[in-house]
Amino acid sequence: MGSLPPKKLPYLPASYFHWTVATVFGSGFSSFAPGTVGSIVSLLIIYWIFPVSIPLQLIMLLGFTALAVYSSGIVAEMTETKDPSVVVADEFVGMFATFLFFPQPLRPDLMILGLVLFRIFDIWKPWPAYKLETLPGGFGIVLDDLVAGLYAMTLLHLADWWLL
């Protein structure tokens, strides 16, 4: 299920770049739960690159979102699939949004709870996430996960304030 071969793959360096971005360094090719594996790999990457500065967090989120939309749309077009299971760049964007406004370094309890909350919202897709999923191309692939990440971020901040 996770290893979906492209139906048309031009052998250009740009296509390899988009496949690398869209699959988050190949983690989307996992044969077992590619979305969860992509989320875990994304969490590890985020742990190392997440900035302390809130303005930089927002700028990076916008940049990653734009790149994910673009690369995911190209990979979806190459595979002739609306939302290929190998594309997990949307999970990266959602996970990044989950940890917005948290200080560095991220605490292990926040990382685990954030991962769980994001996966719940990503699978559940409460409004408006399920509506955004119907958008064309990379927008429909990525924006629903961005909303799931924002829901997860909200609950994670509440949990950190009240429980952790």
Q: Where are the alpha helices (DSSP H) in 105-136?
A: 108-124, 129-132
12: Cα separation from own chain's centroid: 25
Give the closest residue to 137 by CA, choosing from 93, 86, 89, 75.
Answer: 75
Q: Give the pLDDT band of residue 1 (cuts 50, 70, 90).
A: very low
pLDDT beyond 90 at 65: yes
Q: Give the pLDDT band of residue 11 (cuts 50, 70, 90).
A: low
Residue 95 three-state SS:
helix
What pTM did the predictor assign? 0.89
Q: pLDDT tens digits for 73-126?
A: 999 998 888 888 999 999 999 999 999 999 888 899 999 999 999 999 999 999
pLDDT beyond 70 at 4: no
How many C-beta atoms lie closer than 10 Å to residue 101's C-beta?
Answer: 10
And the tokens for 116? Answer: 């769980």
CA–CA gap between residue 145 and residue 97 (Å, rounded):
9
Give the closest residue to 18 by CA, choosing from 73, 59, 56.
Answer: 73
Domain positions in the chain are 13-162
Q: pLDDT tens digits for 12-41?
A: 566 889 999 999 998 998 989 999 999 999
Q: pLDDT tens digits for 136-156?
A: 899 999 999 999 999 999 999
Q: Please list the helix, strand and coil fractions of the chain in percent, rounded to the nearest 5, in that order.
A: 70, 0, 30
